[in-house]
Amino acid sequence: MYAIVEIAGQQFKVQKDQKIFVHRLDAKEGSKVDFDRVLLVDDGKKVSLGAPVISGATVSAKVEEHLKGDKVIVFRKKRRKGYAKKNGHRQSFTALTINDIKVGGKPAAKTSTAKKEDDSPKAETKKAAPKKAAPKKEAAKDDLSSKTVAELKEMAKAKGIEGISSMKKADLIKALS
């Protein structure tokens, strides 16, 4: 069983007894925290998807420790100008251990496969009709644009168009269509 939960503005895929690192939370070490912004729950048989969250679902976790991440060095330089700045940053994290994933009450959910099947036929029927008329008009233009300038000049000469020697390909296509 796993869940996708939003913690401190980020989404995490969590399972029971998993240890994750999130941005620093305002909770004491050893305390228990509950997260109610559960977006998806999969119990192996059924996938519950929230819109946007599943009502009544919670993920409980224990705060293990507060720590800092590795140092990231930020170095800025403009060559030949004598400008160079070096700065460092260490992000504050909270280590959490997921204790339990609960789905209480009736989840406001749809299975992911049913949602995809309902949306696809409607979209296809609306878009299919207008596309059929457009290719007929473009087919004649595509035929002319695929020909070489010499072939276009021969076609223009056969139709009796004057001044073809100074025309470019786009002008020839325009004159022939």
- How far apart are the C-alpha atoms of 169 and 56, rounded to whole Å? 67
Instruction: Please indicate, yes or no, whether residues 47 and 97 belong to a single structural domain of this protein.
Output: yes
- Total domains in the fold of the chain: 2
Inter-CA distances, 21 with 13, 32, 50, 92, Å: 12, 15, 24, 10
Look at residues 49, 47, 36, 27 and name the one whose alpha carbon lies nearest to residue 7: 36
Q: Residue 176's pLDDT band (boundaries 50, 70, 90)?
A: confident
- How far apart are the C-alpha atoms of 152 and 163, rounded to whole Å? 13
Please tell me the predicted confidence (pLDDT) of residue 161: 85
Look at residues 72, 77, 41, 45 and name the one whose alpha carbon lies nearest to residue 56: 41
Instruction: Please indicate, yes or no, whether residues 102 and 45 belong to a single structural domain of this protein.
Output: yes
In a domain, 26, yes or no: yes
Domain that holds residue 38: 2-76+85-113
Q: Residue 138's pLDDT band (boundaries 50, 70, 90)?
A: low
Please give the model's pTM, rounded to 2 decimal places.
0.54
Judge contact between 3 and 36, C-beta under 8 A. no
> Mind listing the pLDDT tens digit for each residue in 4-27?
999 999 999 999 999 999 999 999
